[in-house]
Structure 1
Amino acid sequence: MATLAATAAALETNGGFPAARTRTVARRLLEDNILTPGAPGIAVEINESDFALLLLAIASDAPLSKVTKATTELANTVPNGVDVSVMPEAVRPAGRTAFDVLCDIIWDAAHGDGQMKFDVEVVATWPEVAFHAADGIAHFMPPGSLPDHWQSAKQRRSTVIPYVALFLVARNLFGEN
């Protein structure tokens, strides 16, 4: 596990996210019980799943007052907006969220062979996470969303986190040295 200070520094060095913003967003997520809190007198430790949530939060570019809601919405997006929970159990595939996929990518980068090479795109204008690979893009949207349709009348604004940056931060924070 990594400390919050080390996580903020690694995200600033390798990902370009300002450390001050990362610490402020993390504080808000801790207050709202999204991240795992530390004990009194002990620094907050960030594990791989906390890191995935923190990454979604800072990449969402949401105002501090809305960062918890934006993070929760982004984490719960599903492939192409298809809610598999309404399918009959006999034919239901495993339900995967953007949070699940991002955790797998971070775990593979830190502890695995690093073969899950996806750039992660977090849309700030509406809840959407896209995973870019060499052979295509997987879009994760809120359940019930219409894929291939613009989700708002606004301009689409997003942050793309290159796999190399994600790999370097994950190896630095969680990899065995």
Structure 2
Amino acid sequence: MPNLASAVAALHDYCGFPAARVRTDARRLIEDKLIEPGAPGVAVEINPADFALLLLAVASGAPLRSVADITASLASCVPNGVDVGVMPEAIRPAKRTAFDLLHDLVWSPDNSPVTAIEVCESWPEVTFHTRDGIVRFQPAGALAGHWSGNKQRRATTVPASAIALAAKHLFGDTK
């Protein structure tokens, strides 16, 4: 199992994020128990789910004081803000979140239709670019297709190929 230092190096080398920022965001996620801490004298181990959360945290550009809250908000975003929990069970599709799609990309990068991931810094939104178009993941109840704030939209785009290379470097055949 890869440790935190190798995950920081992978995000720096393959995705271009500053290593110091990745380490600081990881520390915040560990403090808020989104990533399992290591034991005394034992390095923090990173699994594909932890790596996906760390990627969301760093790409969000969130202030350090709120990086864990914003990461959790981004991870729970649903396609077009549609809450499937209110649908009748007979027609309810499986609930998919932004975290699920990103985790699938990290877990099996060769089978993913995603070509790029865009994480909005101005409001909670994760956009997945595919060969067929885009899918916007927003908080449940958000108005799809509407500007979610009164600020300029600022986002970080990460190519899926960079994430795939980082995931293969970290997890290789250990999955």
- TM-score normalised according to structure 2 size: 0.96
Work out the number of aligned pairs and report it: 173
Query: Match of 1:43, SS?
Result: coil
The letter of the residue matching 1:174 is F
- TM-score normalised according to structure 1 size: 0.95
Equivalent residue number for residue 6 of structure 2: 6
1:36, CA displacement in angstroms? 1.2
Structure-2 separation of matches of 1:29 and 1:13: 21
Gaps of 5+ in 1: none
Gaps of 5+ in 2: none
Matches within 5 A, 1:1-177: 1-109=1-109, 114-118=110-114, 119-176=116-173
Structure-1 separation of matches of 2:75 and 2:104: 13
1:176, CA displacement in angstroms? 1.7
Query: Match of 2:137, SS?
Result: strand
What is the aligned-residue RMSD (CA, Å)?
1.0
Query: Match of 2:136, SS?
Result: strand
Query: Match of 1:62, SS?
Result: coil
Query: Match of 2:94, SS?
Result: coil
1:117, CA displacement in angstroms? 3.9
Query: Which aligned runs of 4 or more in structure 1 are off by greater than 2 angstroms?
Result: none
The letter of the residue matching 1:51 is F
Structure-2 separation of matches of 1:117 and 1:83: 23
Query: Match of 2:69, SS?
Result: helix
